[in-house]
């Protein structure tokens, strides 16, 4: 088991390389088998994970550039564990439900390389290694949007690349400066996150480094006002690209806030809490209103994703166990639900070659199974109790309620607003008369589509009914993050703030 994280990282890349030698007619089956094996490895990781320990587990280290402290260091805790499981599961489901007909072999190879980079991001404990995997995710995603996308695919791919790359460069400057500070403090170079936890930074340095990391993370969330690249990317990307982008890539950034910004810059995190909360609430309200105005289904879901990511930001910057645990759970829930929504739009697009809501109507008559599946997914997106969407939103808002009841009330409008635009879209798509002849010939979901969407519906309901299976192992790792913040803070006001929001004790 000491090598399992390396296996999870590099197995998809090795399989993708082997895929060049697989005949194109067998590539679909090959991709399904590879992603199933990767998912089984992630479940094996969960089976051997000690849920009573907050420290990083399965840590593996060997030197790369020792003179500058750059090493291969991987490890996971409860926060990254379930995000890795979500990555492997959603990749598997997206390949099973793949409907793309053009250059399928190249597409699956690209997806497998992308899976390698995504897993690498969530297990990397060396900051340079983290940055390399972070940037490598851009290449396959750029290719997916630019080659398999719609009419404006090249423009969308360029905008996606430039926005995220420039923000990441600013973050890299912050990483290098922190490495320099560590060298000046200890006399040795290190980019190991666990080593960095031992360094206490002055308040003014924390502020500047928080801002540097903020640009890298905020652009990719994407937070308002850096969000404009996402709706275009979603509208132009193929279905599988939208699934991976919404389900996984957007979670890398909120994970970055929890893994790096909070524990490394605790005083700055408390200082910028009102600012982050304001951006989150603007995203919740503004993008929900924009979503209601959309006629393109993918555009609507894209803006809906930004709105829900605003709730995650509120949970993270509640700076208490309820909020951060709720934010992580919502990352997982949003990944499953948004992936299911984009896959459902892909089902309609595959049959009608359009994503415009006005082109449909009355589909419940000839697609009853699909109408039922879509209804469950839509209710989870709204945040209906006993679905996966409710748990994360409730805990995130509950955590932020300790910070500001008034702002929490404003933020809770996301539930009302999402119900308005989602139910309106569902009514126009599935109810009414079957007027258009093209809609009368549409077949209900079956086979691979039913298997993929049915698996997501099962997860939506099961984790909504019994979230403890994730929340219990997650809590101890979140408590560890809060404890590190308390220890590393240099401002007494920060300690008082953290202790007013949490019961901080010893964490094993």
Q: Are 63 and 188 in contact (CB under 8 A)?
A: no
Listed as ranges, residues in the chain with pLDDT below 50 are 506-508
Question: In terms of C-beta density within 10 A (0-12 exposed, 13-18 middle, 19 or more buried), how is residue 207 classed?
Answer: middle
At residue 505, the pLDDT reads 54
Q: Are 392 and 329 in contact (CB under 8 A)?
A: yes
H/E element, 65: strand 57-65
DSSP assignment of 23-43 equals -GGGHHHHHHHHHHHHHHHHH
At 387, list the tokens: 């679905």
Q: Strand ranges (DSSP E) for 115-232?
A: none
At residue 232, the pLDDT reads 81
Closest by CA position to 269, among listed 502, 490, 507, 506? 490
Report the C-alpha gap between 317 and 403 in whole angstroms: 9
Residue 498: partners with Cβ closer than 8 Å, 6 or more residues away: 266, 270, 319, 482, 485, 486, 489, 504
350-359: pLDDT as tens digits: 888 888 888 8
At residue 101, the pLDDT reads 79
Q: How far, in Å, are 125, 232, 240 from residue 298 at the CA level? A: 35, 9, 12
At residue 253, the pLDDT reads 81
Q: Which residues of 416-428 are buried (b: 16+ CB within 10 A; e: fewer)?
A: ebbbebbeebbeb
- End-to-end CA, the chain: 22
At residue 437, the pLDDT reads 80
């Amino acid at each position: 088991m000491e090598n399992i994280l390396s296996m999870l990282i590099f197995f998809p890349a090795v399989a993708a390389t082997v895929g060049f030698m697989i005949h194109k007619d067998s590539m679909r089956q090959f991709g399904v088998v590879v992603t199933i094996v990767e998912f089984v490895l992630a479940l094996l990781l969960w089976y051997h994970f000690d849920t009573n320990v907050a420290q990083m587990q399965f840590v593996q280290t060997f030197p790369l550039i020792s003179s500058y402290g750059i090493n291969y260091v991987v490890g996971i805790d409860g926060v990254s564990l379930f995000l890795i499981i979500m990555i492997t599961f959603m990749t598997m489901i997206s390949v099973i439900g793949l409907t793309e007909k053009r250059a399928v072999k190249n597409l699956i190879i690209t997806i497998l390389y992308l899976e390698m980079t995504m897993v690498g991001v969530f297990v990397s404990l060396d900051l340079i290694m983290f940055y390399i995997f972070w940037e490598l995710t851009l290449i396959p995603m750029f290719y997916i949007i630019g080659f398999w996308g719609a009419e404006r695919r090249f423009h969308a791919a360029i905008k996606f690349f430039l926005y995220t790359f420039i923000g990441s460069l600013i973050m890299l400057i912050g990483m290098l400066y922190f490495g320099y500070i560590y060298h000046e403090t200890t006399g040795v170079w290190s980019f190991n996150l666990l080593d960095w936890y031992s360094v206490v930074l002055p308040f003014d340095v924390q502020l500047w480094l928080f801002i540097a990391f903020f640009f890298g993370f905020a652009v990719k969330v994407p937070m308002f006002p850096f969000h404009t690249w996402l709706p275009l990317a979603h509208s132009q990307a193929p279905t599988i690209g939208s699934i991976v982008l919404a389900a996984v890539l957007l979670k890398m950034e909120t994970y970055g806030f929890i893994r790096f910004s909070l524990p490394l810059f605790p005083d700055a995190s408390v200082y910028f809490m009102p600012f982050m909360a304001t951006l989150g609430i603007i995203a919740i309200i503004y993008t929900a209103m924009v979503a209601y105005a959309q006629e393109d289904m993918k555009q609507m879901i894209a803006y809906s994703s930004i709105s829900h990511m605003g709730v995650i930001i509120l949970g993270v910057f509640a700076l208490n166990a309820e909020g951060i645990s709720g934010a992580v759970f919502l990352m997982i829930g949003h990944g499953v639900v948004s992936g299911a929504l984009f896959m459902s739009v892909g089902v309609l697009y595959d049959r009608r070659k359009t994503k415009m809501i006005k082109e449909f109507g009355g589909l419940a008559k000839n697609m009853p199974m699909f109408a039922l599946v879509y209804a469950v997914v839509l209710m989870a997106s709204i945040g209906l109790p006993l679905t996966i969407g409710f748990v994360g939103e409730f805990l995130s808002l509950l955590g932020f309620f300790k910070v500001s009841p008034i702002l929490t009330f404003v933020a809770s409008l996301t539930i009302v607003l999402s119900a308005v635009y989602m139910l309106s879209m569902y009514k126009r798509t599935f109810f009414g008369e079957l007027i258009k002849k093209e809609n009368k010939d549409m077949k209900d979901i079956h086979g691979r589509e039913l298997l993929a969407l049915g698996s997501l519906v099962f997860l939506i309901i099961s984790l909504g009914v019994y979230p403890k299976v994730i929340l219990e192992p997650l809590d101890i790792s979140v408590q560890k993050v809060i404890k590190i913040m308390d220890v590393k803070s240099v401002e007494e006001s920060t300690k008082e703030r953290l202790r007013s929001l949490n019961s901080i004790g010893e964490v094993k």
